[in-house]
Amino acid sequence: MSLSIEHVTKKFGDFTALNNVSLEIQDGEFLAILGPSGCGKTTLLRIVGGFETPTEGSVKRGGGILSSPKENVPVEKRNIGMVFQSFALWPHMTVREHVQFPLNSRRCTMSKKEKQEAADQAITTVGLAGLEKRYPGELSGGQKQRVALARAIVAKPSILLMDEPLSALDAELKINMRQEIQNIHKLTGATIIYVTHDQSEALAMADRILIMKEGKIEQLGTPREVYCSPQTEFAATFVSKCNLVRGKWNGNEFHVRDQDVVFSAEPAAEEFLLKGICPIRPEEFEIFREKGGICGNIVNRQYNGREIHYTVQSGDDFYKVYTGQERLYCEGETIYLRKKVS
């Protein structure tokens, strides 16, 4: 059963947190909602979860209304699981007690044995077997987040809502937990709606990414689509960290402003054509000492292991360039930037 978000607007007083948002989320899909702080990600998630009602528009599941200004199916009847940024664990409850907690409601018709089996299964799924009797104070950050995940999936929800679930974890653990969340997605088959402001998280895990800005949808597409073909200036800089080269489009050619340089490039999205912008990702540029291309000076060099990151100044413009280690350029050197032929 797909989930339809239809023309959802949410106002808090005079402030519009969501502005006419519409999209369809397929059953079993992993959708990441990506955007900067305050763009309305959590508000959209809370409306899907039933914690907020829309000011206008509706959320439907299989044709039936879940949320609208007049109707709101209660949270406990929506068959959803939630995982928050803070682990939301109680210090006096063990791992097993936490995981079994959602099954303790009067609405749950499982026998005691079935509840124990469901909790065991959830605990095993998240890799916590053996730690059932531990209290939160005896767990690492990653293990605490696993408890929160197990608690969210124990009642076999058809929709899992995750609000920045990895942001409290350190960098290495974050990467490991991404894989865990992907596994949980595969094992449970649940629809996952995952809020994040981290573009690498969204690109790594999601089937589709919804990019939001100031309460509106900027772009919706697969990771490859939003990364390789951003449709707006915001999507280009926020997701792909693109350089926005200024100039003029002429069919499949782009003439760089103030330089005698022409790039051949795919016909750009309308916004880029109108504004005279060619978005070029840092890894799409190549640096040469030989003349030809955008002339500039290296003003910064950073070693990043596999890549070297350069900042190049050309007049008033600054470009980011990521290269391999084959050739090293020095700060202060005059170089030429060319776009790789795709």
Contact residues for ligand ATP (CB under 6 A)? 12, 15, 17, 35, 37-43, 197
Cβ 214 to ligand ATP shortest distance, Å: 9
Cβ 190 to ligand ATP shortest distance, Å: 21
Are 32 and 196 in contact by the 8 Å Cβ rule? The answer is: yes
Cβ 202 to ligand ATP shortest distance, Å: 13
N- to C-terminal Cα separation, the chain: 40
Cβ 41 to ligand ATP shortest distance, Å: 4
Which residues face 263 on adjacent strands?
254
Cβ 79 to ligand ATP shortest distance, Å: 23
Are 83 and 98 in contact by the 8 Å Cβ rule? The answer is: no
CB nearer to ligand ATP: pick between 36 and 315 = 36
Give pairs for 176-179: CB < 8 Å, separation 24+: 176/142, 177/142, 177/145, 178/204, 178/205
11: tokens are 């106002």
Cβ 33 to ligand ATP shortest distance, Å: 8
CB nearer to ligand ATP: pick between 15 and 324 = 15
CB nearer to ligand ATP: pick between 37 and 109 = 37
CB nearer to ligand ATP: pick between 39 and 245 = 39
Strand, helix or coil for residue 56 = strand
CB nearer to ligand ATP: pick between 99 and 210 = 210
CB nearer to ligand ATP: pick between 103 and 235 = 235
Give pairs for 124-133: CB < 8 Å, separation 24+: 125/150, 125/153, 125/183, 125/184, 125/187, 125/188, 126/150, 126/153, 126/180, 126/184, 127/180, 128/95, 131/95, 132/94, 132/95, 132/96, 133/94, 133/95, 133/96
